Structure 1
């Protein structure tokens, strides 16, 4: 005969207790201070008062009022009570260390498995040697498994994106975009987008997103992808001032290109063509005589490099002759600096190359003994070195239209000067050519080389064509206002009196503080700092500084993608890794750690006890649906000493076990407990790994979603081969249980 059950009264809160309800409906007092759970028979004022006075009466809760205890109870009922199951929360330093290591892994673009295969074993080995066993045990608690690192990177990725989006929304000026598309190692098209915006009186550039184009790569597909991102993050096109991309028809087609589609929705947006791509196109012009020399040089390179044997022989020859270089560089039409680097390398090893080609009887071996060929080679190596220098001046982050135009105009003016000097036999601007002409004895054995009139005419023609080509790709446009570049030397008297910017310009010119600021900061930063004091002219100036003029950041990100998404990681969705690796905004790791709670068993030896207590709450509860791949619901999975049975009545009986039978595939999926007292749905995956022996949970309440898990649901099944017949419960590597708890029973023994 069962004893009479006592009932809970809200008056017991004054003693620091709350109530939990067991499955059989009985109520038990739970101390909110020490988390002690008493029997149902202790639901009496005298016993509860005795517990409070004996254990907590002299502490900080001595003078706690009933109202304060009610507030504490409300907070307590929202907190997980996993400590009663034998679990303790992971220390914050452990979580912080886990995030920091994952951040370093992502920054370096390394595989996520490096945490458990290299970093953690190395740290444990060093700790054991240098600090002793105690330090090794403490460091071994840091979770660095593959899935943990992936989860950490995803958390940091979301945090970085949230910060960037918040900065864009709060920016005092419109932001600009640069975007480009490439194909990764798995032949999947990837669209990379970067953003430039104003924050804290500084123009900043950062990674926005990198998403795959899963089917076609038409302009409409690119536009849809960007639109979806903007919609998900509440970013309107009205906040965009300019878009920069390469010159592909998909991007800059007049009628159906991405730029045309963007301007159809937002006509105010300026769509520009990357000046680096335009520069590469403009410099492809070469007269036939010079183009023939370039063609022969490329043939030289391919002849040597396409054969591993010839490549090794040539390298050994260069080494024996004491050459500065031992390797020729491949030529690539799509690489901006390729021609200049290839030509300079061939010119540097022309003596060794001539000897090598002569020994191998190459059909163009005699060209390197021809003085005119050597002079043309020297000239094109010089001119492409100058073009490479111009290209590099416009590379990098933070380049604006003012800097780019200044470099281009300076180079265009130098071309006419170089032409006049060449006509006067002055080759000072072409050092390799000048060196060949001035030498008494050339390496080819020909003394006192002079530049023929025909070659001088070819050089002058090339410089003219190059200048015209640059004028065509960079036409003269309406220049930016002079006061943007020199606000303090700008003449107000010669300007139209109706100019609305004159008033604020005069005020700036008379400010000694602004003059000092102008001398000590960059031009873009100076105008950013005027947004509050002189908003009219500052906004106009920022319209010039904010737009991108190159797609350098996108090209740089594609190079990084080659390191992140390799052949061995060709199934990786690289956006999270790309954002953490490329973003200049740092993740708020301290906030991420404070928002999450993780639970570990008190010790590995107590793992049986903790797991048994957990199973006590879910054993034999009816379920709505289940999926067990491999064995059927009615067939048991038997071990050496216990079994896991799914019966036909819909009850799940889970007992303790120490081994599974061979070659069984087990996956628990959607265990829905429909008990009226509580509804618990979970996903559990068991699988074997050599590290990170712990149990993790994710608990989400019905009224407030709070992620508390160390891992997300893992959908890879667990296969047990014949050599793993002994699978002890204490050796379970991961049990990830995702729980959704209903507020129908907030006082249940397992609640979130």
Structure 2
């Protein structure tokens, strides 16, 4: 496969108002008057001259010395961080990052930046602000590769901000016994010697040995006595998330698969909403035994911290509000229709609305009544409709 031919810059191109700049390792022409950057393929006199004629007609007859002066001004502007060129380039780059972020956040294909977003921006800017402002928008790079590059840069920056450095703090032998108290005394002596604050400790990770664990004894419990938030603030919150996400996942799983219909999905959603409300009521007494078993096993006989109970209550109320918003309450007519669909043979004639009188024929069909007992709701209604 042949390589793409790259054109080289020639000093004579300055007669047309173009200097040279390096972009992604490739020489490209840049206008010294408007700072417009063209592609490497445009590095030809018959493509550079039209730009001067169409965009800067008033400078068509200027000498090369004029363009050399403009070239020097452009180079100085690039080096001046307070100059208009630097500020404009910085604004263009920031706009590219902002639009790339929005494209990715809204889960749109990266190609939409160049095929839809940028053309719309150019059209609107030209109509409202004119050609000069539109030219600035044209300099914003939004190709699919650019969008990907911007997202990679932002992702790497976030990772750098959240880096966790793991460093070895100290190592000291236990010369005699290795009980939880021995370990605690050793660590406490080190904390005191180095003036470390127990209040800044946020978590404890151990090897699972008996001397390290336990709700009433063990090194972890002794650390908790130094700073109750180590366990109560972090581990209890984590335990609650395990419980609530497990419950949501269970409901979600039960609404999927074969033989699922609007009837059984509706009653599962309503049942879960009722559970959430019940759990909020139980929090008033600190009761989490049934509602949140993982959290209960962690706190044992003690109630969770008051701040955690407040956070849990707030979260549950937010879940209830979200479920109520997403799954609207059914109107009476729909509820009646669903009740008839669930079991059409348990309704008296006077309970059936006038517009649903055709159900009367079905409720008096003994053959269908026998079929109803042995078929799923889906198969029954398929058979009843034939």
**TM-score scaled by length of structure 1:** 0.21
**TM-score scaled by length of structure 2:** 0.39
Higher share of residues assigned strand = 1
Higher share of residues assigned helix = 2
